[in-house]
Structure 1
Amino acid sequence: MKAPVSWIREYVDLPADVTTEDLAARLTALGLKLEAIEKPGDQITGPLVIGKVLTMEPEPQKNGKTINWCTVDVGDANGTGEPQGIVCGAHNFKPGDLVVVILPGGVLPGAFEISARKTYGHLSAGMICSSRELGLGEDHDGIIVLPADAGAPGTDAFEVLGLSDEVIEFEINPDRAYALSLRGVAREAALAYGAPYHDPGERAVAEPNATGYPVEIEDPSGCPVFVARKVTGFDPAAPSPDWMVRRLTQAGMRPISLAVDITNYVMLEIGRPIHGYDADKLIGPIRVRRARQGERLTTLDGIDRALSTEDLVVTDDSGIIGLGGVMGGETTEMSATTTSVLVEAAHWDATSMFRTGKRHKLTSEAGKRNERGVDPQVTQAAADRVVELLTTYGGGTADAGVTVVGIPPQQAPIEMAYDLPARVTGMPIDAATTVANLEAIGCVLDKQDTTLTATPPPWRPDLSDPFDLVEEVARIVGYDQVPSVLPREAAGRGLTREQRLRRRIGRTLAGAGCVEVISFPFVGDAAFDALGLPADDVLRKTVRLANPLSSEEPSYTTTLLPGLLKAAARNVGRGAAGVSLFETGTVAFPIDRGPAPIYGVDWRPSDDELAKLLDALPEQPLHLAVVLAGERERAGWWGAGREAGWADAISIVRRLATELGVEVEVVSTARAPWHPGRCAQVLVDGVEFGHAGELHPKVCQAFGLPARSAAVEIDLDFLMRHARDVTPGPEFSTYPQAKEDVALVVDAVVTTADVEAALREGAGDLLESIRLFDVFTGDQVGEGRKSLAFALRFRAPDRTLTEEETTAARDAAVALAAERTGAVQRS
């Protein structure tokens, strides 16, 4: 909303020394956020004066253009008192007219310097200005012709043109529709300074009578009030007065014609949108109703619209002539031949206006105000003001008939305790301040001993409960008066166990070279298809959203891998040689316990009601997923690099388990989306909590990842439940280590994990570490067999081991492996 300061001052007796900056600051503190301060004259310097055209000689040029060689009286502004010779290309003026002249030495917007220069065979000393050249509008076809009483030649033109009138632009919140008018902005200015206020909406209006234009309202809930006034004998060629054009331009609206300009001006002045019909094009009474199935309307913007049965429309005997409160129709549009105008000032249901605007993707200045809620009491005053201006400047005659149909809706009273503003804001607001501030915004109060009942003013439909009144009291007192009080920290509280564990997990993964990401938590069937999940996979059973952000991804995810794989592919596609990403987040598995109950929002649910709500929630475990793609170890002068693989994924799981003090078991398995032969099931105490390994080639292809990319997904809640709060550090022995290597031949189907587990158990407490360092297949070990070579390291905490002790431990380990897996020691 753009508000010229001079227009505000017309309704408020502001102190003379109040600056625009101070006014903007005060209004911002009251809730009208400052967007900009416009000072149109700031870009113009030098002598800008009123000139009187003395002579005007047309001179055709060789290029087909005709220029005018003019002599212009600029008084003593040029220092000589002699007429000024100026070349002008415009033709919309004549000798005797008053024009705006900028003399040599002046500067126009855009840093355009004016000087005396030779052009078209003449020395042109200055410029006769158009609106566009002065930054007052886009009209460049003709120069500005001032009224005959604008001033004497040589007079400063800044005041005449309003160039010294500063404009404040505000961002108006949706709940403050009253501030989309000078009436509302001025009311706030009066509130800010405690200054006298003159309401432009308060005026003596003509009494309604039975001779007005007939109007019927079939839907009073959608249109409670409809006012109609008629003006005849209107001159459609009458120009809009300069002051009106200037104010409309300052407010950001384009002047069109006198009739349209007047309706726009009154809307800006009072806040009530007005619509004008060419009365000669109307047939029969006006009716307001809801549109019927299949009806259409071509609106003023030339678009043929299919109407909804929820749209409010204005009709006559010819059919629909307007989309009520939003935009009129073409058939009754005012034009250059309109001599009879029917003025409509109606109050419309805000919700209907909002839905109609969204449904038709139609935004208008009228709709923007109607959908936020306008003062219903001001309809007749607005119509009367339009009639006054039409008859004053358009030469028309006001018809004696005055139509007023309906009764303006009343505001519901609100009961509030006197001390509620103080309790909510923490400010020392007493009862007298509460009463004074509510009366200042226009509330009618009924005061009791401990409470008051406030009836909000009709221009404030946003005030509906006690806390709205608290906000009004607080903003007038000033939010800068809210005391700054630091909350006391509760003693003995710190990070929870889960928070500490999650930080340890994050540090561990970062140390492993992984970067954390957050991906979109919703999926569709396409993501599950790309993962290669079978139709009956449990991960395909999802919680579907009632109102999804995307129809292609309508469900809450059951796995973190789709979003993480997309993020990895995006980075690889943008040139990353290798990526290591991880994400922690909840997934959701549906539980069929019936629909969740829906409670109201105006009270806190009871414990039993909360329990029912929580019982209907799906299971939402916290998961961790890791994706390793492309280069894992970079190549360089130090040697060759290495691509990420299944072993890296399993290594990350082991590293996490070590950090949390959890013993994990890794067992070969087959599970989409992993490669069937390179997927590991991870367990704790025999319970599966995740998988790790190489992704299936088709999955890599579907997501655009390098071949043999690897991934991990585990149930992080499960892992943290088994974690130690404090992981003990390793114990070191000062005695030497004993080394033994064994090579065992087993069937190819025997897993390395089974052999290693048997060796570890058989070796006993002296075993410090075990490591697989070679796998061999070939004729030497036989078809369907493989050789696994392990490095066994033994150490005692209190002595140096003898050869007999280490040999016995090694043999015991081999013997148990042979018993459990059929292993044969290779010689």
Structure 2
Amino acid sequence: MPQVPLSWLAEWVDLPAGATTTAAGALEVAADLARVGLEDEGLQGASVTGPLVVGRVVSLAPEEHKNGKTINWCAVDVGPLNDADADRHPTVPRGIVCGAHNFAAGDHVIVALPGAVLPGPFPIAARKTYGHVSDGMICSARELGIGTDGAGIIVLADPVEPGTDAIALLGLGEQTLEINVTPDRGYCFSLRGVAREYSHATGAAFRDPALLDVSAPTGEGFAVELADDAPLRGRPGADRFVARIVRGVAASTPSPAWMQRRLTQAGMRPISLAVDVTNYVMLELGQPLHAYDLAGLTGPIVVRRARAGEKLVTLDDVERALDPEDLLITDDGGARVLGLAGVMGGASSEVSGTTTDLLIEGAHFDPVTIARTSRRHKLASEASRRFERGVDPALPPAAVQRVIDLLIAHGGGTSDAAGTDVDERAAIAPVELPVDLPSRIVGVEYTPETVREVLAQIGCTVHGQTRHEGTDVLTVSAPSWRPDLTAPIDLVEEVARLRGYDLIPSVLPAAPSGRGLTPSQRLRRSVARSLAESGLVEVLTYPFVSPTIHDSFGLASDDPRRRAARLANPLSDEHPEMRTSLLATLVEAARINIGRGASDLALFEVGLVTRPVPGAAPAGRPGIEHRPSDDELARLRAAVPPQPRHVAGLFAGNAEPAGWWGPGRRADHTDAIAAVQRIATLAGVDLTVVADPDHAPWHPGRCARFTLADGTLVGHAGELNPKVLVALDLPARAAAFEVDLDVLLGAAPTDPRQGAPLSTFPLAKEDIALVVDASVPAAEVFAAVRDGGGDLVEELRLFDVFTGPQVGEGKKSLAFSLRLRAGDRTLTAEDAIAVREAAVAEAGLRVGAVLRG
């Protein structure tokens, strides 16, 4: 986010009184900029109070203390503020303890004397430390709030008289505004752009710093070739390159104090005259620039794409392997790489302490090319931030001239009369804007005069007006500094922005009539609501898993759930796959909750799983030069793996808490099975339930398999395998279910359900207890009794399960209650006995059940 020193901004646009020195005035400027879309992120300045002065180090004596730290005991001359001697003459330097070691006797430093307050707030007072009374503090940039360097104190390059007010010298009383710039407003990464926007917001006079007297070259300068043989999206990587030479410059000397102060206020570290001047002009105009040591260049300069195997050591001393998409600045006819275009220069052409002759580069590069290079090499720079948002292609000549003027003014030297300007810019395509479009889109009446006025205000040129289908249409060319204005809707936004977003009324649109939720949507909501009402808590988990979850679940090597879609760019390298079951992420949520002390859990989730199809054709990668064709879109859609919607739940700990009412009840496999049956009842689907002894991650003897009448698998429920619970660090006897909700919803009846007529005849009751082998599932006995009882059975319920010596070894007793009713008559005792006998007989035939004696 750009930091805007308001004293610098005031050079190019008229600011209200007090804006540069008071917080109230700065906030007024921030409010004006916010009206045109530049929101402030913070305000800096005026956080230091004096006395803060310049001091000259008279002497310093290093002292090593018993804690191992070496300090300097310094005598510092602070002019009129020196300690008074016995005759009250201010001649005795201040004694100050300093832990930094980047200065020497004779250096001029910044001294905070007792009574000063530094950012924090941090009041300064005379205090005893390391065996001395330190009468003040020698300050670093971080301690003054003007930089991040806290390792060494500030040493002034341009000495001034000791005792000089450092607050004024460093501009610490000046306000700096930090603003937030949206990606489409790259021109506001400069003082020029912010000043223009402030002028739009307030009508204040704007003075364009780019309006310079740029002398035309008198001859051919340093040879430059634009040789991009692999442009992206049909746009060359570079379409303009300006190069000028300045000779005899003291390039490595420090820049003037005022320039260093402004760079520091803007968040940049002063380095040397050549570097500081190019950074200063970049901040001022928005054009990134680069200075080369002319002695190290061999012409011509060639701008080209990288070749396979090429490498470059950039200015940060990192060797980088280059990609064929990278745009490079090269010399010697393209043989030697000088830098990554628009991102960072190379170490080989860096300005050094012996540099006197410079070649100044100002170029315009393709935003997409620069953005890709910056991200590919994880190398964000001030230059790349601007180029990837769009830089004014008309700026390079003026920006280079401004650099040369500053270099000559502060470093001496002369500029060559000859220069280079390779200009291959394409013409800006005009935009056709119906003059009533802003009113129709925004809902505010904008007159044609208002629309024309706004277009002129932002720098657009209106070439003419035509009539099309009864509407006046303006032909508009955007200014060179607004590459974001490419469509009519962009111009509509500018009209709304500059005429005030606050004038747009808040009108609630009338809701169109619709058909409401689909049956599937209603049923999905009912499932979630029913599970929540029965005591489960809904969670939402990320659908990314580690491949190790398949091993933790004990899945067989050929289990289709092991076949997962792997992400090319996962959020975490530890979770690179899309889940193939909801339980894979639900168990992670359970572990987190249990780790935080929630020992009793009942969780559920409704979400998508990804089930890749083996042998599916890859989608390919369509180009970005044009819209994908219908065939390419069809291949993309076909390559997307199926993503069915599942519902899953997990139970651990107690289902019913213990208390004075009793010992409570532990959740078990029956809770998971009951949850699936509840879901099926909501859907109106009858499920077949059978035991499944071999389906991970469930317990071999406590797992139920649910299918439709045609055998289609719906899901599983039961107790999780003890080995799985150990592997996942979950409580013993935890239970779970997972159901394919799409399959269940697909089988749900589409016709509205009809209520059965209520019988007015009385109810008859019968109870039976059947003894079967212990291995026989209760569901099979239940189905046999229900089918044998016939239509007179209104309700059938299993109310007791008993095992013991009374029923025999390897046997169990299942007790059922039958509620019988006829719709046309009162049942007799004979009717009830007949139903009872038929149910017992059917159970005997199917599962070998006998009536318990």
If the TM-score is normalised by the length of the shorter chain, which range does it land in? 0.7 to 0.9
Residue 40 of structure 2 is aligned to residue 34 of structure 1:
yes
Which residue pairs with 2:68 in the alignment?
Answer: none
Kindly tell me: are residues 602 and 494 of structure 1, through their superposed partners in 2, closer, same or farther at Cα, counting changes over 3 Å?
farther
- CA pair 297-794 structure 1, distance change in 2 beyond 3 A: closer
1:332 to 340, 349, 353: 349
The secondary structure found in structure 1 opposite 2:784 is: helix
> What pairs with 1:269-308 in structure 2 (closer than 5 Å)?
269-308=284-323
Of 192, 207, 212, which residue of structure 2 is paired with 1:198?
A: 207
Larger displacement relative to structure 2 (238-247 or 112-121): 112-121
Aligned to 2:608: 586
Q: Does 1:418 align with 2:435?
A: yes
Contact 2:95 2:135 in 1 (8 A): no
Matched, 1:759 2:785: yes
Q: Match of 1:465?
A: 487
Alpha-carbon distance between aligned partners in 1 of 2:409 and 2:430, rounded to the nearest angstrom: 41
The separation in 2 between residues aligned to 1:32 and 1:735, in whole angstroms, is 78
- Give the whole-Å Cα distance in 1 for the aligned partners of 2:129 and 2:742: 84
CA shift digits 1:378-400 (9 cap, x unpaired): 11111111111111111222223
For the pair 1:399 / 2:416, whether they are aligned, the reply is yes
**Relative to structure 2, which stretch is displaced further, 729-738 or 408-417?**
729-738
Return closer, same or farther for 1:225/1:398 CA change in 2, 3 Å cut-off.
same
Task: Please list, as runs of the form range in 1=range in 2, the aligned pairs for 1:499-510 lying within 5 A after superposition.
Answer: 499-510=521-532
**Shift in alpha-carbon separation, 1:414–1:83, aligned structure 2, 3 A:** same
Candidates 790, 799, 803, aligned match of 1:776: 803
Change (3 A) 1:781 1:386: same
SS class of match (1:224): strand
User: How far 1:448 moved relative to its partner?
Assistant: 0.9
Cα displacement (A) at 1:781: 4.2
Moved more, 640-649 or 365-374: 640-649
Counterparts in 2 of 1:357-506, with a 5 A limit?
357-449=374-466, 450-490=472-512, 496-506=518-528
Cα 1:193/1:791, change in 2 over 3 Å:
same
Q: Output the amino acid matched with 1:109.
A: P
Matched, 1:651 2:660: no
Matched-pair contact (CA < 8 Å) for 1:627–1:710: yes
Kept in 1, the 8 Å contact 2:281–2:287? The answer is yes
Kindly indicate whether the alpha-carbon contact (under 8 Å) linking 1:178 and 1:184 is maintained by their aligned counterparts in 2.
yes
1:2 shift after superposition: 0.7
Work out the CA distance in 1 between the residues paired with 2:128 and 2:814: 100
> Any idea what SS the aligned residue of 1:42 has?
coil
Matching residue's letter, 1:651: A
Give the letter for the 1:173 counterpart.
T
1:181 is displaced (CA, Å) by 1.0
SS of aligned partner of 1:36: strand
Partner of 2:232: none
Q: Please name the residue that 2:75 is paired with.
A: 68
Match of 1:680 in 2: 704
CA shift, 1:436, in A, is 1.3
Q: What runs of 5+ residues in structure 2 fail to find an aligned partner? A: 20-24, 65-70, 230-235, 467-471
Cα distance in structure 2, aligned partners of 1:385 and 1:651: 79
Alignment match of 2:740 (pick from 702, 715, 719): 715
Counterpart Cα distance in 1 of 2:624 and 2:381 = 35
Query: For residue 244 of structure 1, what is the aligned residue in structure 2?
Result: 259
SS in 2 for 1:713: strand
State how many pairs are aligned: 810
RMSD: 4.4
The alpha-carbon distance between structure 1 residues 289 and 143, as it changes in their structure 2 partners (threshold 3 A), is closer
Aligned residue type for 1:43: V
- C-alpha contact 1:543 1:588 (8 A) present in aligned 2: yes
Secondary structure, counterpart of 1:771 in structure 2: strand
Alpha-carbon displacement from aligned partner over 1:96-155 (angstroms, at most 9, x marks no partner) = x9x97766644343444456789999999877877666444548545658776x9xx998
Please give the residue correspondences for 1:125-164 in structure 2 after superposition, counting only pairs within 5 Å: 134-137=144-147, 138=149, 141=153, 158-164=167-173
Task: Write the letter of the residue equivalent to 2:345.
Answer: G
SS in 1 for 2:196: helix
Give the equivalent residue in structure 2 for 1:235: 250
Answer whether contact 2:60 2:104 (CA < 8 A) is retained. Answer: no
Name the CA distance, whole Å, in 2 between partners of 1:549 and 1:92. Answer: 50
Partner Cα separation in structure 2 for residue 599 and residue 213 of structure 1: 37
Alignment of 1:22-61 (within 5 A): 22-39=28-45, 41-44=46-49, 58=59
* More deviation, 104-113/551-560: 551-560
Q: Which runs of 5+ in 1 are unaligned?
A: none
Offset at residue 660 of structure 1 (A): 5.5
Can you list the C-alpha shifts for 1:247-283, whole angstroms capped at 9, x where unaligned?
1111011111112111111111111111112222223
Retained in 1: the 8 A contact 2:242–2:363?
A: yes
Q: 1:482 to 1:627 in 2, by over 3 A?
A: same
Q: Distance in 2 between matches of 1:290 and 1:500?
A: 56
* SS of structure 2 residue aligned to 1:269: helix
Instruction: Work out the CA distance in 2 between the residues paired with 1:60 and 1:744.
Output: 102
Determine if contact 1:646/1:692 at 8 Å carries over to the other structure: yes
Could you tell me which amino acid in structure 1 is paired with residue 5 of structure 2? P
After superposition, what is the alpha-carbon deviation per residue over 1:145-192, rounded to whole angstroms, capped at 9, x for unaligned? 8776x9xx9987654442332111112222222111111111111111
Q: TM-score, normalised by structure 1?
A: 0.85
List per-residue Cα deviations over 1:270-303 (Å, max 9, x = no partner): 1111111222222343332223222222211111
Q: Is the 8 A contact 2:292 2:358 kept in 1?
A: yes
Report the Cα distance in structure 1 between the residues aligned to 2:325 and 2:638, rounded to whole angstroms: 39
What is the alpha-carbon distance in structure 2 between the residues aligned to residue 617 and residue 304 of structure 1?
39
**1:197 partner letter:** F
**CA pair 602-321 structure 1, distance change in 2 beyond 3 A:** closer
* 2:649 maps to 1:626: yes
Segment drifting more, 112-121 vs 557-566: 112-121
8 Å CA contact retained: 1:660, 1:723: no
Alpha-carbon distance change, 62 to 675 in structure 1, aligned in 2, over 3 angstroms: closer
Alignment of 1:173 onto 2:182: yes
d(CA) in 2 for partners of 1:117 and 1:758? 95
User: Structure 1, residues 579-614: CA drift from partner, whole Å, max 9, x if none?
Assistant: 2221112345568997889899999999x9999998
Deviations 1:658-688 (A, max 9, x none): 4555544423344522334333233455554
Instruction: Describe the SS at the equivalent of 1:309.
Output: coil
Q: Aligned to 1:563, which of 585, 588, 592?
A: 585
Q: CA deviation at 1:405?
A: 2.5
1:687-698 equivalences under 5 Å are: 688=712, 689-698=714-723
Equivalent runs, 1:570-609 vs 2, <5 Å: 570-587=592-609
State how far apart, in whole Å, the 2-side matches of 1:71 and 1:120 are.
22
Who is 1:9 aligned against? Answer: 10
What is the letter of the counterpart of residue 222 of structure 1? G
Q: Measure the CA separation in 2 of the matches of 1:626 and 1:222.
A: 54
Q: Deviations over 1:73-109 (max 9, x none)?
A: 379xxxx9974754155987879x9x97766644343
Aligned equivalent of 1:346, options 343, 346, 363:
363
Distance in 1 between the 2:112 and 2:72 partners?
23
Distance 2:111 2:820 in 1: 103
Residue of structure 2 aligned with 1:212, choices 214, 217, 221 = 221
Counterpart of 1:668 (choices 684, 691, 700) is 691
Q: Is the 8 A contact 1:311 1:323 kept in 2?
A: yes
Q: Quote how far apart the aligned CAs of 1:476 are.
A: 0.9
**Residue 745 (structure 1) shift:** 3.7
Equivalent position amino acid for 1:678 in 2: R
- Looking at structure 1, the residues matched to 488 and 199 of structure 2 have their Cα atoms a distance apart, in angstroms, of 24
